[in-house]
Amino acid sequence: MGGPVFEDLSVGDVVVTETLRFDRERLVRYAGASGDFNRIHWDEAFATGVGLPNVIVHGMLTMGAAIGPVEEWAGDPGAVIDYQTRFTRPVPVPADDVVEVAVSGAVAVLDAEARTARVDLTVTAAGAKVLGKAQAVVRL
């Protein structure tokens, strides 16, 4: 699959928009794959007992899923040479429902010498930012 062409990009170009969906089944599957069985991700009574609004999506699952659209845009997951973010708030997942997480990304910096684009991501759930300073550097 071909990726973007460096010369066709401009700072400010929106290159990613996607809605991610998480339900409790996905949390359980991620817990099994990652080995992270912290009860705040699957036990509602425990999660609310420690002050959370409900069970919450694993932070690393949110982070990992949010970079997926950038990898697709780049045409190669290996083109993403740097990715960092801060976790700003949890993503609660109600019982028998799905929570939607909106991801959008825009070109913030172009480096002609390195032929890279820094894509700044905005990641929100219910209108609130859940990842802060989410930035990916993509080699083109």
Query: 35-49, pLDDT tens digit by residue?
Result: 999 999 999 999 999
The domain segmentation of the chain, as residue ranges, is: 6-22+59-139
* CATH architecture for residues 6-22+59-139: Roll (3.10)
CA 77/CA 98 separation, integer angstroms: 27
In this predicted model, what pLDDT tens digit does every residue of 40-92 receive, in sequence order?
A: 999 999 999 999 999 999 999 999 999 999 999 999 999 999 999 999 999 99
pTM of the entire predicted model: 0.94
On whether the CB atoms of residues 56 and 40 are closer than 8 A, the answer is yes
CA distances from 75 to 8, 69, 108 (A): 15, 10, 19
